[in-house]
Amino acid sequence: MIPFKLTDELIATIEQLIENQKNASLVELLEEVHHADLAEIINELNEDEATYLIKLLESDKTSDVLTELDDDIRESILRNFSAKEIAEELDELDTDDAADIIAELPKEIVQEVISEIKDDEHAKDIVDLLRYNENSAGGLMAKELVKVNENWSVTTCVKEMRIQAENVTRVHSIYVVDDDDKLKGRLSLKDLLTTSTKTPIRDIYIPKVDYVKVTEKPEEVAKIMSKYDLEAIPVIDEMGRLVGRITIDDIVDVIKEEAEKDYQLAAGISQDVEADDSIWELTRARLPWLILGLIGGIGAAGIMGGFEELLSNYAILFFFTPLIAAMAGNVGVQSSAIIVQGIANDDLKGSIGNRLVKEMLLAALNGVILAMLLLLITWAWKGDFLTSLALSISLIVVIIVAGIIGTFIPLFLHKKGIDPAIATGPFITTSNDIFGILIYFWIAKVILGI
Amino acid sequence: MIPFKLTDELIATIEQLIENQKNASLVELLEEVHHADLAEIINELNEDEATYLIKLLESDKTSDVLTELDDDIRESILRNFSAKEIAEELDELDTDDAADIIAELPKEIVQEVISEIKDDEHAKDIVDLLRYNENSAGGLMAKELVKVNENWSVTTCVKEMRIQAENVTRVHSIYVVDDDDKLKGRLSLKDLLTTSTKTPIRDIYIPKVDYVKVTEKPEEVAKIMSKYDLEAIPVIDEMGRLVGRITIDDIVDVIKEEAEKDYQLAAGISQDVEADDSIWELTRARLPWLILGLIGGIGAAGIMGGFEELLSNYAILFFFTPLIAAMAGNVGVQSSAIIVQGIANDDLKGSIGNRLVKEMLLAALNGVILAMLLLLITWAWKGDFLTSLALSISLIVVIIVAGIIGTFIPLFLHKKGIDPAIATGPFITTSNDIFGILIYFWIAKVILGI
């Protein structure tokens, strides 16, 4: 495999060929290109070029390309397709990918598209999948799987499996069901290679099989599949009937999206955006958090205004407010990030109380070390021991409070059923800025005896 | 499958049984527990209890438990094992997991452990894997795979495959090699189910096969496998010989670890720590970044000290320094996070110059909106239009500069071959705090004509 590299030259060549309608050359040039690479190429073309190319190439290739494209690009391309042309693409796709595409189509053409799908069984399966919530195992699963009845003989079973395997891109497990379609167990592919074909199914299947319910959250499915190293998991409905299966490639996407979402929230970005999105989209994702920061900053200014009488004799206290705010913010972000990850990985044990005590001790340890540094530096700099002491002791208290807030808020949100990741970024920084500055002036006043 | 739930009662029961040496009850209680769940239980026990339990249970179960344990717990448990006992566990493991465990053992016992491994072929494969850099495809791959020679007849092939499949937990693909062991292609399992067994291998194998070189970075392997939806990928050496394969479950771990590392760096945590690590470990991971923040804060205080003459007439400027610092930090973190994600996903196109221009426009748009808000609020509050205007215009400039720094630094680090993720957290916040405050006072002075 020569690794594919998307170059400006390749894009230019393709655009040239499209402009001159050199269809044969285009088909030849793109013949050996993997659909995931072709999707990268098409993401770089304009709508007309992309539409032209997809209509030109065979739908067994372009259908997979469509699933790989960015949502907005796919939608704009499909707007130029007739219902029949869309149905041709869907005919080639697995049911889960086909259902995802249909869910994005304008409502008025959905029915026509479905009626144009040639394979009735395929259409039925797709319609079935449309019913499930996108944010559930049902929304992730595909109908393609290999299943055998426990009452079959191995001969029937092998024959049936061959037929079923034709429609399944990858056979992971052979699921065993009873006459009511209830999931009973599985036959492993390894057993298939190593067991005599004379044995009856009922005697050879493995009754222990991991599964998830259709209503399970994608994150939970991801946790189960990665914990137990599963490459596919069957999905059952409320009656225990086998209704689909989820494969690890979809779960890899779930894991990556979850990680990106948490990362973006921690950075103060509220929607799923990419560097190449428009300035408008990026602004919508970023501005709300900046406004939150602005309000926090105005609050901090208000607090400092309230301590204005200290300005004449203790101006130095005001010079250190950015330091206090920064430390409160940093400690808060650190604490909350550790808690958010612990929650995500399910490895937080013990009570909230224990967590808070631990974080307090940790913050106190860090606080004392940092405060001693600050004491020495500011004392050497300004020569005023008492003010330096006031600064340093305030810093310790601010750090401890910041650690407690950073630990408590995500735990609290999680308890209330809210995604704790929203608490990691600007939210923690802003609230810690305000609390930090307030505590700082208050303690400094006490120590300085003002 | 009844989902496993780790409860305090279960741990208490197990501890009680261990204390009273009720071996039969322990074996019975844990018989049906999955090794991943058993690892969770053992993580909760103390060293003696854990050692007792692992020695008690069969090594075909405990070997997998060992691979799931946290590194430090595994190391402390294995310290209580003889070389022979360790070798018994390794006998049950896949070569990649066995090699990972050996790499952690004290050097003086490694040779003895290896000599105690019963299966010579297995021992040879493990020793072979020890040579590869942990941070490479070679360090990730396992030796277990199913391969057939292109010159074999299907009859030989199927017979050989059955033997090989015995040692392979999951058969993904059947790789085809030539007489020199060079990778030629693959036979898919689906073909195996749907093709007549009379056909010779040379005629039926698929010559197109994705692979990676032993020296490839794990992140690159993860990118390739997730882009092309692969569940296993063969690994070749410098001469094109098939030396191992990497499976998707290991790649899921790579993806999760990468995401956690980036997330922690963005939050100012420099090592891989968990909420349950000791206060000392957590301090080592957090304190360096806090010291950086402290130095930044002292720098900011120094800058403000330099503008002390403004205190008497323009004290309000000082009240807004936390706001300026917060906005500079937030914008910088947002910009750098988007760039870092773009780099990680390989979807940054265009030059650094274009990126910077785009970020400048974006920051300017956000800056103007935020500045207008600030202008209105501060004008209404203090009634001094000129000062409010100075504040607001400074804010715009600070936001633009923060956006440029946040965009430039990760791109620059990436160009220099340094992980750009280190630039996202306290590093950006701290440098933006200092630059922000400096720019802010400087511009305010110009506008106010001081």
B contacts of A171 (beta carbons < 8 Å):
189-190, 193
* Distance to chain B for A71, nearest Cα, Å: 15
CATH number for A146-257 (one of 1.10.357.10, 3.60.20.10, 3.30.360.10, 3.10.580.10): it is: 3.10.580.10
B320/A325 Cβ within 8 A: no
User: Cα torsion for A42, A48, A51, A53, to the nearest 10°?
Assistant: -60
Q: Is the pLDDT of residue A2 over 80?
A: no
B227/A36 Cβ within 8 A: yes
> Which tens digit of pLDDT belongs to each residue from B315-359?
889 999 999 999 999 999 999 998 988 888 877 777 788 888 888
DSSP string, B214-232: TTS-HHHHHHHHHHTT-SE
**Structure tokens belonging to residue B402:** 């923060």
Q: Is the pLDDT of residue B202 over 90?
A: no
Nearest CA in chain B to A359: B279
Residues of chain B with CATH 1.25.60.10: 8-134
Q: Is the pLDDT of residue A38 over 90?
A: yes
* Distance to chain B for A373, nearest Cα, Å: 9
Residues of chain A with CATH 1.25.60.10: 8-131
SS3 A216: coil
B263/A266 Cβ within 8 A: yes
Residues of chain A with CATH 1.10.357.20: 279-448
Where residue B85 falls among pLDDT bands split at 50, 70, 90? very high
Nearest CA in chain A to B363: A283
B326/A429 Cβ within 8 A: yes
B226/A323 Cβ within 8 A: no
For residue B196, is it left (φ>0), alpha (ψ between -120 and 50) or beta?
beta
Q: What is the mean pLDDT of chain B?
A: 89
B193/A170 Cβ within 8 A: no
> What predicted TM-score, i.e. pTM, was given to this entire model?
0.85
B contacts of A329 (beta carbons < 8 Å):
326, 329, 429
A contacts of B227 (beta carbons < 8 Å):
36
Where residue B43 falls among pLDDT bands split at 50, 70, 90? confident
Supply the CATH classification number for the domain A8-131.
1.25.60.10
Q: On the CB side of B450, how many CA atoms lie within 13 Å of its CA? A: 18
**Between A297, A319, A355, which is nearest B327 by CB?**
A297
Nearest CA in chain A to B323: A297
Which residues, including other chains, have CB under 8 Å from residue B274's CB and lie 6 or more apart? A338, A341, A342, A345, A347
* pLDDT, position B193: 61
**Between A266, A327, A433, which is nearest B290 by CB?**
A327
A320/B321 Cβ within 8 A: no
A248/B231 Cβ within 8 A: yes
A contacts of B338 (beta carbons < 8 Å):
267, 269, 273-275, 282
Question: Regarding predicted confidence, which is higher, B167 or A205?
Answer: A205
DSSP tag of B182:
B
**Between A274, A302, A366, which is nearest B290 by CB?**
A366
Question: Which of A32, A68, A170, A193 to probe by mutation at the B interface, max B CB count within 10 Å?
Answer: A193
**Structure tokens belonging to residue B52:** 């007792």
A334/B267 Cβ within 8 A: yes
* pLDDT, position A382: 82
* pLDDT, position B343: 87
Residues of chain A with CATH 3.10.580.10: 146-257
Percent of chain B having pLDDT more than 90?
A: 57
Q: How far is CA B244 from CA A178, A285, B103, B148, B205, in A?
A: 39, 44, 18, 14, 19
Task: State the complex-level ipTM.
Answer: 0.84
Supply the CATH classification number for the domain A279-448.
1.10.357.20
Task: Give the phi and the psi of residue A170 in degrees, each rounded to 5.
Answer: -135, 125
Class of domain B8-134: mainly alpha
> Which tens digit of pLDDT belongs to each residue from A309-337?
888 888 889 999 999 999 999 999 999 99
* pLDDT, position A336: 92
**Structure tokens belonging to residue B319:** 């009240």
A274/B338 Cβ within 8 A: yes
Q: Is the pLDDT of residue B426 over 90?
A: no
Are B254 and B221 in contact, with CB atoms under 8 Å apart?
yes
> Which tens digit of pLDDT belongs to each residue from A46-63?
999 999 999 999 888 899
Cβ–Cβ pairs < 8 A, chains A and B: 330
* pLDDT, position B352: 81
A320/B305 Cβ within 8 A: no
Nearest CA in chain B to A209: B1
Nearest CA in chain B to A343: B275
Residues of chain B with CATH 3.10.580.10: 146-247
* pLDDT, position A208: 85
A contacts of B330 (beta carbons < 8 Å):
268, 289-290, 293, 426, 429
A318/B318 Cβ within 8 A: yes
Are B244 and B172 in contact, with CB atoms under 8 Å apart?
no
Average pLDDT for A385-410: 93
**Between A231, A262, A315, which is nearest B248 by CB?**
A231
**Between B264, B267, B322, which is nearest A322 by CB?**
B322
Question: Regarding predicted confidence, which is higher, B219 or A344?
Answer: B219
Nearest CA in chain A to B305: A319
Q: How far is CA A250 from CA A15, A257, A411, B220, in A?
A: 32, 11, 29, 19
**Between B331, B374, B430, which is nearest A326 by CB?**
B430
DSSP string, B326-391: HHHHHHHHHHHHHHHHHHHTT---S-HHHHHHHHHHHHHHHHHHHHHHHHHHHHHHH--HHHHHHH
B171/A193 Cβ within 8 A: yes
**Structure tokens belonging to residue A262:** 């948490």
Nearest CA in chain A to B221: A3
B322/A437 Cβ within 8 A: yes
> Which tens digit of pLDDT belongs to each residue from B1-32?
556 788 888 999 999 999 999 999 999 999 88
> Which tens digit of pLDDT belongs to each residue from B348-402?
777 788 888 888 999 999 999 999 999 999 999 888 899 999 999 999 999 999 9
Alpha carbon distance, N-terminus to C-terminus of chain B: 75
Average pLDDT for A364-368: 95
A327/B322 Cβ within 8 A: no
> Which tens digit of pLDDT belongs to each residue from A117-176?
988 999 999 999 999 998 999 999 999 998 989 888 877 887 888 788 777 777 778 899
DSSP tag of B136:
S
B contacts of A210 (beta carbons < 8 Å):
1
> Which tens digit of pLDDT belongs to each residue from B115-172?
999 889 999 999 999 999 989 999 999 999 989 898 888 778 878 887 887 777 777 7
* pLDDT, position A156: 82
Alpha carbon distance, N-terminus to C-terminus of chain A: 75
B298/A211 Cβ within 8 A: no
* pLDDT, position A1: 52
Alpha-carbon distance B329 to B323, whole Å?
Answer: 10
Question: Which of B273, B283, B286 to probe by mutation at the A interface, max A CB count within 10 Å?
Answer: B286
* pLDDT, position A190: 64
Nearest CA in chain A to B303: A319
**Between B165, B259, B336, which is nearest A190 by CB?**
B165
Alpha-carbon distance B264 to B279, whole Å?
Answer: 17
* pLDDT, position B190: 64
- Which helix (H) or strand (E) segment holds residue B279: the answer is helix B279-306
**Structure tokens belonging to residue A386:** 């008492």
* pLDDT, position A376: 94
Where residue B50 falls among pLDDT bands split at 50, 70, 90? very high
Nearest CA in chain A to B185: A1
Asked if CATH classification 3.40.190.10 holds for the domain at B146-247, the reply, yes or no, is no
